[in-house]
Structures are given as C-alpha cells and as structure tokens.
C-alpha cells in the first residue's frame, strides 16, 4: 500500500507540475512583446530627451527675440521722434 501511495503522490506531483503555468509559446510571445515594448520605451525616452533640449533652446531663442524686439521698438520710437523733430524744423525753416 505504501508503494501505491508513493506512486499516487508522484503521479499527482507530475500532473500538477506539467499542468500549471503558461504554455511555452504564449510565454515566448509575451516575452517578445515585452522586449519590443521595452525597446520602444527606451527609444521614446531618448526622443523625449531630445525634444526637451530643443524646447529649452527654443525658449531661449524666444527670449532673445523678445529682447531684440523691445530694443528695436524703443529705437524705432526714438527715430520716429527724431523724424518728427526734423520735419518740424524743416517746415519752420521753409516758412
């Protein structure tokens, strides 16, 4: 009887071990999918880093353009005042 119970236990363990888990082809498929997703994630991380650097460069460029615009607007205003002054002088001298 002891031999029969040992055989039964051995048979039960064998059935449990082989019957549990994910089929190998499904495991391989999911492992490949996970690997592809990890590669895509890595690639997107690199792309994100590049885009952040470009964003910072563009923010600085916008700041430079705003500064130049303010300077040129001020210069334009001064030149318009000078033109008005010279026009007034010329009109006064010809009259």
Domain map of the chain by residue range?
A: 25-94
Tell me the CB-side half-sphere exposure of residue 9, using CA atoms within 13 A: 6
**pTM (global) more than 0.75:** no
Average pLDDT, the chain: 89
pLDDT tens sequence across 13-59: 776 666 666 778 988 999 999 999 999 999 999 999 999 999 999 99
- Give the number of other Cβ atoms within 10 Å of residue 30's Cβ: 11
């Amino acid at each position: 009887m002891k031999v029969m119970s040992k055989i039964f236990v051995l048979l039960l363990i064998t059935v449990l071990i082989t019957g549990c888990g994910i089929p190998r082809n499904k495991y391989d498929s999911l492992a490949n999918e996970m690997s592809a997703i990890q590669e895509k994630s890595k690639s997107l991380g690199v792309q994100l880093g590049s885009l952040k650097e470009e964003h910072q460069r563009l923010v600085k460029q916008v700041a430079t353009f705003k500064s130049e615009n303010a300077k040129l607007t001020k210069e334009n205003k001064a030149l318009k005042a000078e033109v008005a002054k010279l026009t007034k002088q010329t009109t006064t001298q010809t009259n």
